[in-house]
Amino acid sequence: MGRQLGFIVRELLDKKNYLDWSVGVKTYLMGEDLWDIVESMDEPPKPKDRHAFKYWRSKNASALHAIQISCNTDAFSKIRDMTSAKKAWDTLEKEFNSESESESEDDDEAIVIDGDRVIKEIYTKLSTNTKMNSDPSLDIHMEGKYLMLAVQELVYGDQREGRFVFCRDSKKPKQSGNDDRFTRDGMNPKSLLQTLMMRAGHSPPKYKTKHLKTNEFRALVEFKGMEFVGKPKKNKQLAERDAAVEALAWLTHTTDNSRDEDDKSPPDVTDNMLKLLRKHRRSKRQSG
């Protein structure tokens, strides 16, 4: 437990350090992609929705455990019987956030109108976020992860026409048929991608899967510092296969578009793939 604790907070939660504690735990949960469970998951999915419920239960347990091991004995006793990470977080905020309330008591009284707690909660969150963002030890790369993912989504949806014009009609690109190219005759795109990378002398690709609000899954495959995002699919396996197809389409892309759509020959390993091969071979010769 001591080794895990060092990665989350410097000190266990007590009545004097709630703001510092909340910043540390929140940053940790965001880095582990668990903060959405605490922040927005008011209630879990229905148990009959097996995939969504299993996904929530796993992330909720991880978030709750991180909160529990960051508490001292008194704080832990407040949430001992709770099974929801969000409920545990809200309870600790209510019980231990007395410092910020005492410092801004006059402001809070002016802000809270007719006992409306919503405005007070917004003010408290803004105060916490302001203090967190002014922290010089804040990992901006970790905090900027979600911004980079949003930019990646935008770029992925761009038609590469050299312009961003709202509501302008443009010709829809033809379907590339990459799905058929890399899945015909029982071909497994994940296995093919791994084979190409291993033959090029690189480590196998890594996959990350995200469960979307539409109850679909979107996968990201990463290798050599590059990331390729697939289309939403109904399960993780199909999502990872589609991400592999996107990567293969880039690796086997040729500068001339003379390939016939009905061509059933194996994918041509050219251009981008050859760049990886040449780079590896050159580095091996230099090292030898």
Q: What does the pLDDT read at residue 284? A: 46
**Which secondary structure element, helix H or strand E, spans residue 55, and what is its range?**
helix 50-68
State pLDDT tens for residues 204-234.
999 999 999 889 999 999 988 888 999 999 9
Asked if 114 and 67 touch (Cβ cutoff 8 Å), the reply is: no
Closest by alpha carbon to 235, among 52, 86, 81?
A: 52
Q: Residue 47's pLDDT is what?
A: 72
| CA-wise closest residue to 267 among 206, 179, 201 | 179
Report pLDDT for 209: 93
Residue type, 221: V
The pLDDT of residue 286 is 47
Q: For position 7, what pLDDT does the model report?
A: 59
C-beta neighbour count of 132 within 10 angstroms = 17
What's the pLDDT at 3? 41
109 C-beta neighbours (distance < 10 Å), count? 10
Asked if 178 and 189 touch (Cβ cutoff 8 Å), the reply is: no
Which has the closest alpha carbon to 26: 63, 65, 80?
Answer: 63
Overall residue count recorded for the chain in this entry = 288
Which amino acid makes up residue 74?
A: D
Distance CA 270, CA 267 (A): 9
Residue 104 is encoded by which pair of tokens?
């801004």
End-to-end CA distance of the chain: 46
pLDDT given for residue 198 in this prediction: 84
Distances (CA, A) of 114 to 17, 25, 117: 30, 32, 9
pTM over 0.85: no
Main-chain phi, psi angles of 158, to 5 degrees: -70, 140
Cα–Cα distance measured from residue 66 to residue 125, given in angstroms and rounded to the nearest whole number: 20
Strand ranges (DSSP E) for the chain?
206-211, 217-223, 226-229
Q: What are phi and psi of 58, to 5 degrees?
A: -65, -50
How high is the pLDDT of residue 5? 46
Question: Domain 178-287 - what CATH class?
Answer: alpha beta
Contacts of 18 (CB under 8 A, 6+ apart): 92, 93, 96, 97, 98, 99, 100
What pLDDT does residue 57 have? 85
pLDDT of residue 288: 45
Q: What's the pLDDT score for residue 238?
A: 92
**Distance from C-alpha of 239 to C-alpha of 219, rounded to nearest angstrom:** 5
For residues 94 and 86, what is the distance between their CA atoms, to the nearest angstrom? 12
Which residues does the chain have with pLDDT short of 50? Answer: 1-6, 100, 114, 166, 173-175, 254-258, 281-288
Contact 210, 217 (CB under 8 A): yes
CB 203 within 8 A of CB 223: yes
Domain with CATH 3.30.160.20 in the chain: 178-287
Joined together, the tokens standing for residue 217 give: 């899954």
What is the reported pLDDT for 285?
44
